[in-house]
């Protein structure tokens, strides 16, 4: 199985500042059928299920604010929140869906 | 509205069994790749099983031989039969849809049902 490793485990950012989360996969997640990276990002608030934010590494899901953006390719990926809002406090997970799906261990984002 | 609602969780002794249900609305279960994902307390999600639109099923190694995924097309409902429960199966169990088969992530999730395995 592909192992997903996230860093940092937790992040404290001031309101309006940028938050950056990293994710590394143990092998490439480039999908052979379309040459896209099968990498997604989820947001999970306490007591809620994960919410899809980003797919194909950089495509924003419908309704997701444009302050959320994804980048990267191959084995290294990043989720950025350009201007942190109070409602962005949550745990964020990266997820690969190329083979048997796997998730990262999560990054907890808090307000400074 | 597209929605998934899980039920069937509870407190069970080790070695016991449960059947989880996931009722779908707003889309057809049998036309999608439907998954069960679990999340132990304080941990990240862990994929458990998938049922493809063609009826194929796949399982994580940790549950193979103990868990069975199935669906009832007439009820538009997904199931997970869990046998020989272990303490390490304690988790919130979510059902989730992959909207475009193998080329998409899980886009719709239910709120989950809690399974606690303890003596």
Tens digits of residue pLDDT in B66-104:
999 999 999 999 999 999 999 999 999 999 999 888 778
Contact B43 A48 (CB under 8 A): no
Q: Quick one: pLDDT band at residue B31, thresholds 50, 70, 90?
A: very high
Share of chain A above pLDDT 90, in %: 93
Which residues of B are less than 8 Å from A23 in CB distance?
none
Burial code of A12-51, b = ≥16 C-beta within 10 A, e = fewer?
Answer: ebeeeeebebbbbbeeebbbeeeebbbbbbbbbeeeebbb
Residue A79, CA distances (Å) to B15, B45, B69, B106 in order: 41, 18, 33, 18
Note the pLDDT of residue A75.
96
Beta strand ranges found along chain A (DSSP E): 4-7, 10-13, 19-25, 39-44, 51-55, 59-60, 68-73, 76-81, 90-96, 102-103, 107-111
Min distance A34 CA to chain B CA atoms (Å):
9
Rounded Cα distance, A94 and A102, in Å = 9
What is the structure's pLDDT at B99?
83
Q: Give pLDDT, residue A28.
A: 94
CA distances (Å), origin A8, targets A19, A23, A82, A111, B44: 11, 9, 17, 15, 14
Whether B103 sits inside 8 A of A104 (CB atoms) is no
Q: Is pLDDT of B106 > 80?
A: yes
Q: What is the dihedral of CA B98, B27, B114, B58, to 10 degrees?
A: -40
Chain B nearest CA to A82, separation (Å): 23
Interface test with B, best of A29, A35, A37, A49 (most B CBs within 10 A): A49
């Amino acid at each position: 199985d592909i192992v997903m490793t996230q860093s940092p485990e937790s992040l404290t950012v001031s309101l309006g500042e940028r938050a950056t989360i990293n994710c590394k996969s143990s092998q490439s997640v480039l999908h052979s059928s379309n040459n896209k990276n099968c990498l997604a990002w989820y947001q999970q608030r306490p007591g809620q299920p994960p919410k899809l934010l980003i797919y194909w590494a950089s495509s924003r899901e419908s309704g997701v604010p444009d302050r959320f953006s994804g980048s990267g390719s191959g084995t290294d990926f990043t989720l950025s929140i350009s201007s942190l809002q109070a409602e962005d406090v949550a745990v964020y997970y990266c997820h690969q869906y190329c083979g048997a799906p796997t998730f990262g261990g999560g990054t907890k984002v808090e307000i400074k | 509205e597209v929605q998934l609602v899980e039920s069937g969780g509870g407190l069970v002794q080790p070695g016991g069994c449960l059947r989880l249900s996931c009722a779908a609305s707003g889309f057809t279960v049998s036309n999608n790749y439907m998954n069960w994902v679990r999340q132990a307390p304080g941990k990240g999600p862990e994929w458990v099983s998938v049922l493809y639109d063609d009826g194929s099923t796949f399982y994580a190694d940790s549950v193979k031989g103990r868990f069975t995924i199935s669906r009832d097309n007439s009820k538009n409902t997904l199931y997970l039969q869990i046998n020989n429960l272990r303490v390490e199966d304690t988790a919130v169990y979510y059902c989730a849809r992959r909207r475009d088969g193998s080329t998409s992530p899980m886009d719709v999730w239910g709120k989950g049902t809690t399974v606690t395995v303890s003596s």
